Structure formats: C-alpha cells, structure tokens
Amino acid sequence: MARTCMGRDKRQYLYGGNTGTAYSIHKIGVQKMIRFGFDVGGTYIRFAVFDEAATAPLWAKRADTPVHDKNNFYSTIHDLFDEACTLYDRPERLGFSVPGAIHPETKILITANIPCISNINLGAELEDLLKLTVTVANDADCFVLSEYFGGEADGKEFAFGLIMGTGIGGGIIINGKPFQGRSGSGGEWGHGGPVADLDKYKLPVLECGCGQKGCLDLYCGGKGLTRMSGFFGKPGLDAVSLVKDWKNGDRHATKVIEAWCDLTSSRLAAVLSPFDISSVPVGGGLAKSQDLIRFLDKATRQKMFNAPITDIIKPGKFLLFGGMRGAAFL
Ligand SMILES: [Zn+2]
C-alpha cells in the first residue's frame, strides 16, 4: 500500500495533556488492557485509546477523512495507528465505526459518505494493512454498544439507541452484540415511510435517497429541520440555530420544532412501544440539547402504549466519544 505523509499537519489533539502520563505507565510496564477504537465519519477520522473501563479516552486524535482517495485514507489510518503504538502497547484487535451498512454475510460495506471505501470488505483490507484483527460496525451500533457498556443502556439484554444528527438513524444491541438484521440495516428507524402526519403540516411527500417516499429522515434529521423551516417560510436556517431560537421563544422556530417533535414522537412511539424498554440513549448533534431531548421524550411517552411515567429517551452518557468508545468494545 502506497503511503504518503498527508494528514499529520491537519490533525489536532482532542484531549491533550495526558500522553506523558500514559507513556510513563507504558514504560514502567504496569499497563493494563488497552482498547483502540476508530470512528470514521464523512468529515473526520477520530481515533482514541482507552483503558479497560473506557470512562474517557486516554489519548485521542483526529484527521480529515480522505473521502475519495483510498490510498490516502489507508495512509491516514496507518499513521494514526502507528503514532498510538509509540505510546501504548500494540493491541491484538481493533474496532472501526463507520457510517453505512455492512452486509452480514459478505461483509461488504456500503457507505454514501465515503465513496473510496464503499463496496469493499473494509475489515479484510484493514487487517492486511495493519496486521491485526479488525472488526467493522455501523456507527449507530457502535454508539449503542458504548451505552451498553456502562452508559444509559448498561447491561440491557436488548438495547435500542437513536442517532439524531445530520440524519436520523439507530442501532440495536442484543446481549452485547450489534444486531445487523437481514441486510445490515438493523435498527434504522428513520427510513421506510411515509410519515403519517405530513398532511397536517402541509408538507410535500418527498422522494428519499433510500428509494422510499416521505421518510422521517427527510423532515426530522438535522438537514430535514432546515428543509422543514424552508417549507414553513424561512429557508436556510440550520438545526443548531433553529434549536437555539426555539429556546429563546422565537415564533417561527417554535412552529418548526413543535412539528419536528410531533412527527418524530409519533414514529418513535410506534417503534418503541413493542419493546417496552426503560432507557433509550440518543446520540448525534441534536442530542446535545437536553431541552430538545426532554421535549421529545415527553411527547413520545404520551403516545406510547402503557405510557412510561419516567423519562426513557436520554442523551447518551458517552455522547461526545461514543463512536470511538463503541468501536473499542467491538
Ligand atoms: Zn428514506
């Protein structure tokens, strides 16, 4: 594999100041089990080293994701891995969180965000590259797996978690293992439409990239909020501004967020009722607003069968680094 020296100058430390300590532990030979986890996204490759409990990263770094150049992609991964191996003992296995579906039998990854690694057996290629055991899993599954180990879904036989970021997704963990389903899309609840109440808000039935029409993701993911704001008369507002304006009592933002909450909670109530679970962790950018998640939780519980009296939808405990942490537990 051709390697270049790109990437190093673009990287930034996410959690500085503790690498010296980690190196000392390594040097005096009392290091305990170390976990390595990569979280590959359409913008950044994030990489962290954890101890066994993985309460927080011991060391972490990120690099820009080369989305179109496979050689560059692998060289970035290799450089990050090599750097961690100068600080910590080389692990025997490594986990990768990726956006997309991994076919349960062929292990072929399909990802829209990173074309250079789509339609390949990423795990097998990474094993060749790094000479160790590699497990690749969907990013939503990794987030929920992270919550299964000490988070909001700690030790649950059945765990279901939501991702509410640019799009809407989710993951299922059964007995500590990601549930992939027939095609690798187990846990995806934002597609397969149409949303029941589009008429109520005079929203058009849009065609979705997944092949269906009127999917929730089109209206209620981060990008969907911008779209819905446009249908309500103010195009171009991003999800972060809409949530902020809603908290400040702005009339337009209130209309958009109330419609978002109504549409999303109806779908969620239908998805969650049969599982009757007590805790549903949420990750992704929208989960950073506790007020928004509380608003959604209350509306969802009111629509559920045997409506739960205490909150069930909660921001994930490891929200900020759940992808890397979940990957490290694969
Ligand atoms: Zn769709």
Residues 311 and 177 in one domain: yes
Q: Find the 195 Cα to ligand 1 centroid distance in Å.
A: 11
Amino acid present at 183:
S
CATH code for the domain of 15: 3.30.420.40
Report which of 3, 167, 163 is spatially closest to residue 77, judged by C-alpha positions: 3
Residue with token string 């339609």: 119
Q: Find the 41 Cα to ligand 1 centroid distance in Å.
A: 20
Residues 166 and 102 in one domain: no
Give the pLDDT of residue 23.
36
Domain that holds residue 31: 8-131
Give the pLDDT of residue 42.
87
Give the pLDDT of residue 251.
98
Residues 239 and 298 in one domain: yes
pLDDT tens-digit series, residues 154-194: 999 999 999 998 889 999 999 999 999 998 889 999 999 88
Q: Find the 40 Cα to ligand 1 centroid distance in Å.
A: 22
Q: Find the 62 Cα to ligand 1 centroid distance in Å.
A: 30
Residues 109 and 219 in one domain: no
Examine residue 242 and state whether it is found in any structural domain, yes or no. yes
Residues 126 and 173 in one domain: no
Q: Find the 218 Cα to ligand 1 centroid distance in Å.
A: 7
Give the pLDDT of residue 26.
45
Q: Find the 59 Cα to ligand 1 centroid distance in Å.
A: 37
Q: Find the 233 Cα to ligand 1 centroid distance in Å.
A: 24
Q: Find the 215 Cα to ligand 1 centroid distance in Å.
A: 5
Q: Find the 206 Cα to ligand 1 centroid distance in Å.
A: 9
Residues 125 and 163 in one domain: no
Q: Find the 125 Cα to ligand 1 centroid distance in Å.
A: 30
Residue 266: left (phi > 0), alpha (psi -120 to 50), or beta?
alpha
Q: Find the 145 Cα to ligand 1 centroid distance in Å.
A: 24
Structure tokens at 165: 């970021």
Residues 70 and 167 in one domain: no
Residues 165 and 309 in one domain: yes
Q: Find the 3 Cα to ligand 1 centroid distance in Å.
A: 37
Residues 252 and 168 in one domain: yes
Q: How far, CA to CA in Å, does 155 sit from each of 25, 70, 173, 174, 263?
A: 30, 37, 10, 10, 31
Q: Find the 110 Cα to ligand 1 centroid distance in Å.
A: 15
Residues 89 and 220 in one domain: no
Examine residue 118 and state whether it is found in any structural domain, yes or no. yes
Give the pLDDT of residue 31.
54
Give the pLDDT of residue 27.
39
* Number of domains within the chain: 2
Give the pLDDT of residue 18.
35
Examine residue 141 and state whether it is found in any structural domain, yes or no. no
Residues 162 and 125 in one domain: no
Q: Find the 194 Cα to ligand 1 centroid distance in Å.
A: 9
Examine residue 138 and state whether it is found in any structural domain, yes or no. no
Examine residue 147 and state whether it is found in any structural domain, yes or no. no
268, 313 Cβ separation under 8 angstroms: yes
Q: Find the 189 Cα to ligand 1 centroid distance in Å.
A: 10
Q: Which residues of the chain have pLDDT under 70?
A: 1-31
Q: Find the 81 Cα to ligand 1 centroid distance in Å.
A: 35
Q: Find the 116 Cα to ligand 1 centroid distance in Å.
A: 23
Examine residue 253 and state whether it is found in any structural domain, yes or no. yes
Count H helices, E strands: the chain?
10, 13
Q: Find the 167 Cα to ligand 1 centroid distance in Å.
A: 10
Q: Find the 312 Cα to ligand 1 centroid distance in Å.
A: 26
Residues 111 and 259 in one domain: no
Examine residue 296 and state whether it is found in any structural domain, yes or no. yes
Examine residue 330 and state whether it is found in any structural domain, yes or no. no
What is the distance between the alpha carbons of residues 14 and 16, in angstroms, rounded to a whole number? 6
Give the pLDDT of residue 166.
86
253 Cβ neighbours under 8 A, 6+ residues apart? 229, 237, 241, 242, 243, 244, 245, 246
Within the chain, where are the H helices? Answer: 19-28, 70-87, 122-130, 139-148, 217-220, 222-231, 239-247, 251-272, 290-303, 322-328
